[in-house]
Structure 1
């Protein structure tokens, strides 16, 4: 869009709408849709292995070409630049007829060069802004300066956006005073500013709004990452406490048995060996107590597969029936591995109660014959048009950190973990070594 020379009623461009009226007809010329346009991506750092599961599950599926371009900042900027160029093409006939030594071809090339500056609007938003001011002073072109003001406010914040808008208005006032520059010599300064100022203010305002949305999105992403980190750390603490309870008990038994054997082997060649073994068990137990502090929250150790029946009863009392199939191999697992199985089932049943109440939950715990145990929990997503995977929830209501806890617990025993929608159901699947030989 450009400010035309001559009388408004005699300066109707090819589109059949006067330049000033076209500004009113498309008040969003200098802005663009914010769909998929994000100046800040979620922080690159994620909680190592546990967080990777969630992003991998959410990344599955096919995306359209537009979706992929929306994710790519460079691709989206190319679309914005093309949009800017397409809008400026409406002014080519007027530029070719005006007294500026431009033909239709050269005017198109000049406008294309200006639109190309929009490609760097994230890294250098000053470039399209300054180019827009230059085109405004030379060709009375307003489209590019609107894109420049939006980019300046969007990617550099409110202060610079307002400063750029003030500079644009000041330039308009100065140019209007230049003899022969004003598009309508008979028009007053107020009439001229009433046509050009609202466009710049609108572009800056939309840019500031988008900038604030980016800040909110970044804050939410940082909070989600912090919640995930806290969940992983809590689960690691619970794992360490379980190790303390289970391993400490075995070390205590080893110490007692070694002392008994030492007494039986008194006055024999093996007495010293058994005493050394008992002393080593005592030192290991003391070291374990020093490394892993005593349980501060008073909770008991995580139950094993024997506690699954109670979980099923609790779930059914809450209105979610459960079909539990448990193989004998699960009962022979070590206490640490049984605790991992229990935590996965516990988180999944809690998730089902919160996000799919009343739906039947199928829990399958089976040995695959290759020395590995598979834990699969499946429940149907509510409604045919249910959105993507509902966040797993444990004690962290609504934050989705339960999935991180499950993944951390499974990986701590050398297992693998996946979670996501599958054939209309939400499926959590954990595979861990049995360690049964």
Structure 2
């Protein structure tokens, strides 16, 4: 199985323009020398046409290598093969060089490293590995072709040329391929970070949706069940009960619209997130559902970051929701906030030992623990003293 080709960052037209600019610059810098050397090289008309075509093809491929890296590398490899196999060039440039020399020594051959970089950076596996193997074979052919280039140095110092030649072709190959793979790896890493961020955001929205929907529906169901009995005894309480149910539903819809707006990329401002200052209203909602709730605060309140304050609020909301859903209607819940210099301690307990999420391993407890741990806190939940307790620690 092959992996997808790495995506290129930025507008595609900008990448095209930069690549064409690079091709033009390299052609202006390197191509004139090569064309002149081949035309004056006394290689015969057939080889002259082949070598001129190979030089032009190499420069042209630079402009499209990022779009079609495999095809550009393949054609570039064939062009380089022609330059390696071509006869030695003579003429005025050969006189200046001290003797006839192989076409593979023309400056245009450096362009092949650009094609190798492109296939390493833009092509999916296994093409970068195949390209490296093919290039290494080409390096071997080049070294063999130039091994006895006596025009460069005297025979007694030929080992200097051979060492320079080997290091140059292998070093250029390694550098071009490694830079290409670095770019591909970096883009893949950035993509993985984006995917992880999107997954974290989905989990956050899932937790928010769970908290909003579970709490609001549990309170509305409890109010409806209690209201049915209350209306039978006192019909005049019907408007009050229905108003309370409608208020809970409107608040839930408002929060859900905000969360769904994030999923839709909605530009409208999201409703403000609840804070610890909203806990009294939350407690009143739960009391309206028929549960006795005591709220107490000790210590000097601190100013918590927004995410930590939201996490504290959601812990209390989820714990009370679980009490409403799973504990008998005559249960009593206690919410205790203990402020300390290092943070906030939260304890929510009730006097019934029914697990607040069925078996104690429900989505509610897991969501609370994930939320608290995400802001650097800790959470413990379980039966204690004939009841159930949720204890959380939110650092300042």
TM band (smaller chain): 0.3 to 0.5
Greater RCO, 1 or 2 (C-alpha within 8 Å, sep 6+)? 1
Structure with the bigger percentage of helix: 2
TM value normalised by structure 2: 0.44
